[in-house]
């Protein structure tokens, strides 16, 4: 086990490169199950979660070769239809192999994913969509067994209590591309990662209209061919660096800064007095004077992303005044409050909201990483805080940020790994 030790309290400078998107890579790698032909996927970030997905593809019978950010996937023999518990339970994103396995093999047995610190994380919408396409479902021993004589297109409403679902949209799309007839998905997720998956499926020969919109229309085809595809960059990683720059008053350049996918964040930051500018590919952050508190609700895309909620809370923790933060996607995604308060922040829960009373500066302290994005919030808080911060259980970070400590050291951050 390792920890991160950070000496914070000074601005950073230089250039940081954003890696490929974790949340685009996972469904796109799962989509490789839809063809037996060779596929090459580029800009795949080296993360715990992507390596778990590659292990899962190997366990299902794919041959997987990785050279830097390029993944080559071949099919040498029979594809296995059972996705085993130990891999799916370590990374819930693996659940999105259900749709492609069912679409390609007409059967799939996938372990139900567990919950996690940010919420119960049910899969009822995934199962509703798969069932609507004509699959027979059995839940037994913690597994979902889905079988079909042949999937048939359907008109499916996929909105849930919290709005659209990213991976349920991915699962249903990947089952529908080989189904007979037309499928319309209403209240589909509009996240850029779903748009990227759609582009990849179309490049494999799928017939899909409405990408990136709440209504996706799919006309089933007989089979999909191989593909060579490059994944988009990670807007959440980029947003994390933008919030870091604002918190530490750093003049940094964020290469592949995903500006066009971060309008909800840049709009809120403009109100807070943080100027985010882009020259197309790169993004720069300028903090003019003092910061203003801004209240935020998170929503499905194009709303303010829940995956940047914790990082934004860290910024509001050192912004004079009161801001109210509510997570409409994961109402309980506030485990980072206790840790930020250990650093001197003044944040409290009031029902579904968090009330952030800004203080002048955070103080370094030993803190515990928990969910991936809460951990990122602690890193940027540590870089802004006066003194030393130790962040324990950093494997959470490694799930979704590629070489974060190296990238931050390149910006002049005093950050190092140490054995626990």
**Is the distance from CB of 252 to CB of 407 less than 8 angstroms?**
no
Which span sits near ligand EPZ by CB under 6 A: 18-26, 30-38, 58-66, 273-281? 18-26
User: Judged by CB under 6 A, does residue 372 bind ligand EPZ?
Assistant: yes
Cα-based angle 347, 351, 354 (whole degrees, multiple of 5): 25
Smaller CB separation from ligand EPZ, 233 or 293: 233
**Is the distance from CB of 359 to CB of 318 less than 8 angstroms?**
yes
Rg, the chain, Cα only: 21
120-159 positions binding ligand EPZ, by CB under 6 A: 121-126
Which span sits near ligand EPZ by CB under 6 A: 19-27, 59-67, 277-285, 405-413? 19-27
Nearest CA to 413 out of 2, 19, 10, 4 is that of: 10
Smallest distance from the beta carbon of 350 to ligand EPZ, in angstroms? 20
Q: Which residues neighbour 296 within 8 Å (Cβ) at sequence distance 6 or greater?
A: 268, 304, 309, 312, 323, 324, 325, 326
Chain centroid offset of residue 390 CA: 25
Half-sphere exposure for 345 (CA within 13 Å, toward CB): 32
Smaller CB separation from ligand EPZ, 157 or 162: 162
Smaller CB separation from ligand EPZ, 104 or 373: 373
User: Judged by CB under 6 A, does residue 160 bind ligand EPZ?
Assistant: yes
* Interaction mask 34-73, ligand EPZ, x per CB under 6 A: ----------------------------------------
87-126 positions binding ligand EPZ, by CB under 6 A: 93, 119, 121-126
What angle separates helix 235-248 from helix 263-272, to the nearest 10 degrees? 10
**Is the distance from CB of 105 to CB of 177 less than 8 angstroms?**
no
Smaller CB separation from ligand EPZ, 114 or 321: 114
**Sole binder of ligand EPZ in the list 4, 12, 26, 377 (CB under 6 A):** 26
Residues identified as active-site: 116
Smaller CB separation from ligand EPZ, 64 or 117: 117
Q: What are phi and psi of 356, to 5 degrees?
A: -110, 115
- Binding residues for ligand EPZ, rule: CB under 6 A, are 22-23, 26, 93, 119, 121-126, 160-162, 165-168, 306-307, 329-330, 372-373, 400
């Amino acid at each position: 086990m390792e920890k991160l030790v950070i000496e914070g309290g000074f601005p950073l400078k230089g250039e940081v490169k954003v890696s490929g998107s974790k949340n685009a890579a996972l469904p796109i790698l799962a989509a490789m199950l839809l063809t037996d032909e060779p596929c090459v996927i580029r800009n795949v970030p080296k993360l715990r979660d992507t390596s778990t997905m590659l292990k899962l593809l190997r366990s299902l019978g794919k041959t997987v070769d990785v050279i830097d950010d390029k993944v080559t996937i071949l099919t040498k023999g029979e594809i296995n239809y059972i996705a085993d518990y130990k891999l799916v339970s370590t990374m819930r994103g693996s659940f999105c192999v259900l749709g492609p396995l069912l679409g390609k093999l007409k059967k799939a047995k996938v372990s139900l994913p567990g919950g996690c610190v940010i919420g119960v994380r049910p899969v009822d919408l995934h199962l509703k969509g798969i069932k609507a396409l004509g699959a027979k479902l059995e839940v037994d021993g913690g597994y979902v067994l889905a079988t079909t004589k042949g999937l048939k297109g359907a008109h499916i409403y996929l909105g849930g209590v919290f709005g659209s679902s990213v991976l349920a949209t991915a699962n249903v799309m990947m089952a529908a591309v080989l189904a007979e007839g037309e499928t319309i998905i209403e209240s589909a997720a509009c996240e850029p990662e779903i748009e990227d998956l759609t582009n990849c499926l179309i490049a494999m020969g799928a017939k899909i209209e409405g990408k990136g919109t709440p209504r996706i229309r799919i006309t089933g085809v007989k089979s999909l061919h191989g593909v060579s595809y490059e994944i988009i960059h990670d807007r959440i990683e980029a947003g994390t660096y933008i919030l870091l720059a604002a918190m530490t008053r750093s003049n940094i350049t964020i290469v592949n800064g995903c500006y066009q996918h971060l309008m909800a964040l840049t709009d809120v930051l403009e109100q807070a007095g943080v100027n985010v500018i882009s020259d197309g590919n790169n993004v720069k952050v300028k903090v003019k004077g003092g910061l203003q508190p801004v209240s935020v609700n998170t929503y499905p895309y194009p709303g303010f992303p829940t995956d940047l909620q914790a990082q934004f809370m860290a910024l509001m923790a050192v912004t004079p005044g009161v801001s109210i933060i509510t997570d409409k996607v994961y109402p309980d995604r506030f485990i980072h409050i206790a840790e930020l308060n250990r650093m001197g922040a003044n944040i409290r829960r009031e029902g579904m909201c968090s009330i952030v009373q800004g203080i002048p500066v955070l103080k370094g302290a030993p803190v515990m990483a928990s969910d991936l994005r809460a951990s990122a919030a602690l890193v940027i808080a540590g870089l802004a805080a006066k003194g030393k911060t130790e962040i324990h259980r950093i494997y959470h970070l490694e799930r979704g940020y590629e070489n974060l400590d190296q990238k931050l050291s390149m910006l002049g951050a005093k950050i190092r790994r140490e054995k626990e």
